[in-house]
Amino acid sequence: MNGKNNIAIGFLTMGLFMAYGFLLIYLRDFAPGKEEWVNNYSIGKHFESRLAHVHGNLFAFLNIVIGYLLLHFKDKLQHIKIISWLALSGLLMPLGILGEIYLGLSPVFVLLGALSMTASVIWMGISFLKIKSLN
């Protein structure tokens, strides 16, 4: 893993969460019982589904950026595989939210994903601080 998978999986994940956004629009504007969905806008499953949508796209985008940077600076950065895996593991957060909503899963996946993504971003920042020159 050197960043390529982060880019590919990031784009695929972004596409899936964008499609999920269309489902949310359908539920809000066109589905039978849309009034109840709108009335519960800031609570319950509706709120959680919006969190999954937003974080899914954000974490997908972060994977694309991290993957690109890992590829571009592979000769200057250390621990590329660990950073790559941590960023990919971060996708457990939005997937974990969906798992909670639709499958009743434990929130442990949300926490693991959040910690993984946070660790990858901080590790990436520290790695760039250690680079003497970007040329």
Map tokens 């790559």 to a residue. Answer: 84
Nearest CA to 8 out of 63, 55, 51 is that of 63
Amino acid at 58: L
Predicted confidence at residue 10, as pLDDT, reads 98
Q: Which two tokens stand for residue 109?
A: 């996946």
Report the number of secondary-structure helices (H) and strands (E) in the chain. Answer: 6, 0
Residue numbers in the chain where pLDDT is lower than 70: 135
Predicted confidence at residue 39, as pLDDT, reads 80
Name the pTM for this structure.
0.92
Predicted confidence at residue 42, as pLDDT, reads 78
Q: What is the largest CA-CA distance in the chain?
A: 59
Taking CA atoms, 49 is separated from 2, 13, 65, in Å, by 31, 15, 24
Predicted confidence at residue 81, as pLDDT, reads 97
Amino acid at 87: A
Predicted confidence at residue 36, as pLDDT, reads 82
Predicted confidence at residue 44, as pLDDT, reads 80
Predicted confidence at residue 46, as pLDDT, reads 81
Amino acid at 71: L
Residue 64 CA to residue 90 CA, distance in Å, equals 12
